[in-house]
Structure 1
Amino acid sequence: MVRVSTSTREAAVYRPRRIRWVAVPGAAAVVILFTVLSFGLHGRTGDGMGQFARGDQGAMIGLGVLAALGILMFIRPRVQADPDHVQIRNVFGSFDLPWTAVRAVRFDRNSAWATLELHDDETVPLHALQAADKDYAVEGVRKLRALHSAASA
């Protein structure tokens, strides 16, 4: 979902694209794999000292669901920017920054994602604008730079 225009008065929302093609099917495959493996948990354990129960099968499926949720965290990132501020939601952590706190929007060569360079020499990664998304990420960085320039003027 992207709203981009040449006007710097409109908000822009960016989310990673290519990672969704991997994460969603990967999460589904993990749940299916753990479910199939859970059906193999029956009878005696390998050393013969214990016995698998239905709870063990349920726990195996539950572990698959938890692993899938962990994989789906990689589709969580989002950057939402308007003329006044930028909201960043990364895999872990969120930031809401006014443009006045931002020195530059960077997307260095060989960098996995764009970053915001702040006036206090800190950097904030923008996981939503990933190098794997190529032109989409470049378009997003250009829009963020335009919003930053408009706010600085």
Structure 2
Amino acid sequence: MTTATWRPRRARIVPYVLATVVVLSMIALAVVMPAPWSLGDRIGLVAIGLVVAGILHMLARSRVTADPDGVTVVNGLRTHEYEWAEVLGVSMAEGAPWPTLDLSDGSTVAVMGIQSSDGERADRALAELTTLIHERGETPGP
């Protein structure tokens, strides 16, 4: 089995475009501010734009990767790594923004790397992940 990675399309495009607009706007604002604004104030404006861009990047970096060892889920600040034996299934409720992994310890984890807003692309990704979980994650019956 090779490595498969799923990333949302729209949930990546929007934050990166917005981050670019925010940073460029803050740079422009820093340049056109009147004389009472010091260099430190101008640098502060650009820094605020960069912080906002960093936060948007954390949202856009979501992904899920399946490799021979298991599943890695990257959501915002946290990265979760699970061996195949820990993953029981994946499901996405009607109207849910993303699916959840069902884990052997009874917990669940959001899989923001697959976004329902991507429509058929998300359906294909969910089907592919479900197939891999059935092949690798569930213990076969007797």
Q: Where does residue 82 of structure 2 map in the other structure?
A: 97
For 1:127, what is the secondary structure of its paired residue? coil
Q: Where does residue 39 of structure 1 map in the other structure?
A: 31
The reply on whether 1:25 has 2:10 as its aligned counterpart is no
Ranges in structure 2 where 5+ consecutive residues have no aligned partner: none
For 2:44, what is the secondary structure of its paired residue? helix
Identity of aligned residues (%): 29
In 1, Cα distance between the equivalents of 2:12 and 2:101? 23
- Offset, 1:83: 4.3
Aligned counterpart for 2:126 among listed residues 128, 135, 141? 141
Deviation string for 1:107-128 (max 9, x for gaps)? Answer: 1111110110112221111110
Ranges in structure 1 where 5+ consecutive residues have no aligned partner: 1-8, 44-50
Whose helix proportion is higher, 1 or 2?
2
Instruction: State the Cα RMSD in Å.
Output: 1.5
Which letter does structure 2 place at the counterpart of 1:11? T
TM-score, normalised on structure 2? 0.88
In 2, Cα distance between the equivalents of 1:150 and 1:19? 29
Q: Where does residue 5 of structure 1 map in the other structure?
A: none
- Offset, 1:40: 4.4
In 2, Cα distance between the equivalents of 1:61 and 1:10? 42
Number of aligned residue pairs: give it.
138
- Asked if 1 retains the 8 angstrom alpha-carbon contact of 2:6 and 2:114, the reply is yes
In 2, Cα distance between the equivalents of 1:72 and 1:149? 32
TM-score, normalised on structure 1? 0.82
Q: Where does residue 114 of structure 1 map in the other structure?
A: 99
Q: Where does residue 63 of structure 2 map in the other structure?
A: 78
In 1, Cα distance between the equivalents of 2:94 and 2:2? 28
The reply on whether 1:150 has 2:142 as its aligned counterpart is no
Which letter does structure 1 place at the counterpart of 2:90? V
Which letter does structure 2 place at the counterpart of 1:31? V
Which letter does structure 1 place at the counterpart of 2:20? A
Segment drifting more, 105-114 vs 79-88: 79-88
